[in-house]
Amino acid sequence: MPELVYTPLEDIDKIHAELRTGFQSGKLKPIAYRKYQLLQLAYLVKDNSKRLEEALAKDLGRPPLEGHFLEISATLTEVTNTYCNVAKWAKPEKPGFSLNWTVMRPIVYKVPKGVVLIISPFNYPMYLALGPLAAALAAGNAAVLKPSESSPAMSSLLAELIPKYLDSDLVRVVNGAVPESTKLLDLQWDHIMYTGGYRVAKIVAAAAAKYLTPLTLELGGKSPVIIDPDCDLAMAARRILWGKVVNAGQTCVAPDYILVPRSFQDKFVAALKSAYESFYPGPEGPSAPEAYSRIITPQAFKRIKGLLDNTKGSVVFGGETDEASKFIAPTAVRDVKEGDSLMSEEIFGPVLPIVPVENVDEAIAFVNAHDHPLALYVFSQNPEFKAKVFNNTQSGAAVANETVIHTAAEGLPFGGVGTSGYGAHTGKYGFDTFTHFRASLDSSSWIDKILGFRYPPYTKAKLKASLKLLPRLPARPAGPPSATARSKWWGKWFFLAFVVAIAGGLTKRLKTSSRSS
C-alpha cells in the first residue's frame, strides 16, 4: 500500500481552476455522461474490492465482513441506485395545477450547482467519500474529494484509483491535513459537504460563510437508546451490541448510551452479556483475528481509554485495552450517572454506558436535556411507547428495534438536526443536495390581457382588477384547534343528550296515551 502523499499546497488553486473549466465545458450536462462516470465509479469499487478491503483492514483493522457489508457493498448499492435513478431525478418537474399560473408553464429545472468540495472522515472512509461523490456527479457537478488523513491507506488508494476511472477535469482528490484543508476552504465552492466532528464543522461553516457557500454538515453526537421492559430482550441486546462493536464503536450513529428502567437494569445487563459471549465465543474473545476493528489513531485510543478510566460506573464486561495494537474491547458499564466521564462527550469508541432511569418520562427528559442526537433508538413491542418517545423528542433519525443500518435504507435521508448537522444525503436526498432547483416560467403575450393591470399608470380600475386576485380564505376559525375539538366533543354529547331526551319524552307520551285509550 503506498504511503499517503499530501497534495502540494501550490497545486490546489490549479486543481480548483481545472475543475471549473471541466464543469464549464458542459461535459456533464447530458445524463448519459453522468451515467458513464457513475458506472466507472461502480467499477472502480468492483474491480478493486480486494485492495479496498485491505485498505480498510490497514487503517481500521476492519474484519472483511464489516469491510464488505458496511463499505464495499454499501457503496456499490449507493452508486448503482444513483446510476439507475439519475435520469428520473434530473427530470424537470412541473408544479401541480394552479388556475393563476399554469398558463405560464411553470417548471423546475434541476441544474448542477457547479464545483463542489466533499470533505470526508476516517471512520467510513470509502462509503462517506464515494457516496457523496456519486451524488455530486449525478447532479452534474465537478468535485474535489478531500479524504481523511487519519485513514491514510484508503486516502492514498482513492488518490491512485480515481484518476484511472473518472475524468480528471471533473473529479480530483486532494490529500492532506489541516494546511491542505485550510487552503481548500480559502477557495470559493458552489457547495461544501463536510462529514466529521462539530469542532471542525464550525471552521468549515465559517469558511463557507465567507462566500455564502451552501453547506451540508453531517456530524455526530451522543445517540441514545431507550429500553422498554416490554421488548424482545435478546434481540434488543444483540442489535444494540452489534451497533456498538461494529467498527469498534467508531460509527456516527452507534448507540452511545442506554437509558433503562432502574428495575430492569439487571435483566438488560444479563442479556447484553449473553449477546457479547455469543459474538466472541472463542478463548481469544474479540482479539481473535478478523473478529473486531481497531481504534484509528493512538490519540483516539488515549481519548477513549481516558473516558473509560475515569468512569464511576461498574464495568460489566470488557475493559481490556492494548495501546500497541490500539485495541479496546467492547465494554459495557452499568450504573452510569449524568456527569460521568462517559457522558461528557460522544464516545466514538466501543464503550457502552448504561444509565438507569425511573421510567420513560425520565428517559425522554434526559434526552431532551442534551443536544439533538443524530439517531435515537427505542426498543419496544408497544406502539404507544414508541410513539411517546418519538413524539416527544428530536433527532436526525428515530428508529425502533434496530440500530445503525437505517443509514443505508433506500429512500430515507441520512442527516442530523441541531448540533448533529444539517442537510442530508444518500439516494435522491444526495442528488437534491448538490442540485439547484431553478424556477422557470414562459409567459405568452396574451397573459397581459389578464395581468395588464400591473403596469403603470396605476388607476382605480386597475387596483380593482388586482383585488380580484385576492385568494379566498377558509372560514374564520372558531378558536384554537384543541378548543374546537373540545367544542365538537361537547357538541356530540349535547346532540346525544338531546336525542335521548326526545326519545324519552316520546316513550312517555306513548305510554300515557296507550294507558288513557
Positions marked active-site:
218, 252
Give the nearest distance from C-beta 207 to ligand NAD in angstroms: 8
| Binding status of residue 123 toward ligand NAD by CB under 6 A | yes
Of 1, 9, 77, 197, the one binding ligand NAD by CB under 6 A? 197
| Binding status of residue 301 toward ligand NAD by CB under 6 A | no
Angle, to 10 degrees, between the axis of helix 73-90 and the axis of helix 127-138? 20
H-type alpha helices, 196-353: 198-211, 233-245, 265-279, 298-309
DSSP structural state of residue 69: I
| Binding status of residue 128 toward ligand NAD by CB under 6 A | yes
Instruction: Compare residues 3 and 442 and give the one whose CB is closer to ligand NAD.
Output: 3
Strand 107-112 versus strand 435-440 pairing type: antiparallel
**Of the candidates 87, 199, 70, which has an alpha carbon nearest to the alpha carbon of residue 123?**
70
Name the segment binding ligand NAD (CB under 6 A); options: 6-14, 52-60, 189-197, 443-451. Answer: 189-197
| Binding status of residue 208 toward ligand NAD by CB under 6 A | no
- The answer to whether 12 and 184 have CB atoms below 8 angstroms apart is yes
Give the nearest distance from C-beta 47 to ligand NAD in angstroms: 25
Contact track, ligand NAD, 418-437, x by CB under 6 A: ---x----------------
Q: Strand pairing partners for 344?
A: none
Of 220, 249, 353, 373, the one binding ligand NAD by CB under 6 A? 220
Of 252, 304, 360, 389, the one binding ligand NAD by CB under 6 A? 252
Say whether 38 sits in a helix, a strand or coil: helix
The residue whose grid cell reads 478463548 is 283
| Binding status of residue 345 toward ligand NAD by CB under 6 A | no
What cell numbers appear for 385 in the block? 411507547
Q: Strand pairing partners for 145?
A: 118, 173
Of 178, 463, 469, 500, the one binding ligand NAD by CB under 6 A? 178
Of 70, 130, 161, 219, the one binding ligand NAD by CB under 6 A? 219
Instruction: Compare residues 241 and 254 and give the one whose CB is closer to ligand NAD.
Output: 254
- Rounded Cα distance between 9 and 19, Å, is 16
Instruction: Compare residues 186 and 277 and give the one whose CB is closer to ligand NAD.
Output: 186
Name the segment binding ligand NAD (CB under 6 A); options: 8-16, 122-130, 230-238, 305-313. Answer: 122-130
Say whether 143 sits in a helix, a strand or coil: strand
- The answer to whether 252 and 395 have CB atoms below 8 angstroms apart is no
| Binding status of residue 132 toward ligand NAD by CB under 6 A | no
| Binding status of residue 7 toward ligand NAD by CB under 6 A | no
Instruction: Compare residues 189 and 317 and give the one whose CB is closer to ligand NAD.
Output: 189
Give the nearest distance from C-beta 287 to ligand NAD in angstroms: 24
Of 374, 375, 389, 397, the one binding ligand NAD by CB under 6 A? 374
Q: Strand pairing partners for 171?
A: 143
Give the nearest distance from C-beta 78 to ligand NAD in angstroms: 13
The CA angle 186-189-193, to the nearest 5 degrees, is 100
What cell numbers appear for 511 in the block? 305510554
The overall longest dimension of the chain from CA atoms, in Å, is 114
The CA angle 149-153-159, to the nearest 5 degrees, is 75
Instruction: Compare residues 125 and 261 and give the one whose CB is closer to ligand NAD.
Output: 125
Name the segment binding ligand NAD (CB under 6 A); options: 63-71, 113-121, 331-339, 447-455. Answer: 113-121
DSSP structural state of residue 107: E
| Binding status of residue 146 toward ligand NAD by CB under 6 A | yes
- Rounded Cα distance between 55 and 68, Å, is 12
Distances (CA, A) of 441 to 98, 105, 414: 13, 6, 33
| Binding status of residue 213 toward ligand NAD by CB under 6 A | no
Name the site residues for ligand NAD (rule: CB under 6 A).
119-123, 128, 146, 148-150, 177-178, 181-182, 185, 195-197, 200, 203-204, 218-220, 252, 346, 348, 374, 416, 421
